[in-house]
Amino acid sequence: MTSQSSSSHGKFILVLCCIDGRNTVPIWVWVSDKFPGFHLDTVTAPGLDGILAGTVPGQIAMIKEYADVSMEHHHPEFVIVSGHEDCAGNPVSRQQHIEDIRASVETVRSWGGKFADIPIYGLYVERNDKGEWVVGECVTGNIEV
């Protein structure tokens, strides 16, 4: 299998997030609004922000291996790492999730190569006042929610 440029596949964003659909759908909606036309490569694991932050025992090497496939074959223009309210895999406070997301961004950046050269954004997903699941905060980078 040969690697093709992102232009032959379209534009990609790599998303590293929890398996919980309450988290994945709001991210897709947010990306569709902010970056129309991008495809999402998604690597999921329960409590992924905690795994990458090192606060939840997990498998960082496996997550990196999956993320490397996206980097090699789809050449994403940036990475999103997220955490969310009411997470069964990383059942911590909102503030701890924010800290875990920031630490996760640094973990991903430490993988080097293209991970060190492209933007990595940390998103926190939560319920809004209407009880709907939304991207509530971009905890790293300078993208408005």
Give domain status of residue 100, yes or no.
Answer: yes
3 contacts: CB under 8 Å, gap ≥ 6: 72, 73
At 59, is the pLDDT very low, low, confident or very high (cuts 50, 70, 90)? confident
Question: What's the DSSP call for residue 113?
Answer: G
pLDDT value for 5: 44
Q: How many domains does the chain have?
A: 1
Identify whether 1 is part of a domain: no
Query: CATH code at 71?
Result: 3.40.1050.10
Question: Alpha-carbon distance 94 to 9, whole Å?
Answer: 36
The secondary structure of 72-96 as a DSSP string is HHH--SEEEEEEETT-SSS---HHH
Q: Give the predicted TM-score (pTM) of the model.
A: 0.90
Parent domain of 11: 6-138
Inside any domain, residue 37: yes
Spatial CA neighbour of 81 closest among 104, 97, 106, 114: 104
In a domain, 145, yes or no: no
Rg (CA), the chain: 14
105, part of any domain: yes
Half-sphere exposure of 32 toward its Cβ, with a 13 Å CA cutoff? 7
Query: Does 11 map to a domain?
Result: yes
Residue 144 in domain: no
| Residue 11: alpha-carbon gap to chain centroid | 16
Residue 55, in any domain of the structure: yes
DSSP label of 111:
T
- List pLDDT tens digits, range 65-122: 999 999 999 999 999 999 999 999 999 999 999 999 999 999 999 999 999 999 999 9
Of the ranges 50-59, 82-91, 136-145, which is most confident? 82-91
Query: What is the reported pLDDT for 39?
Result: 96
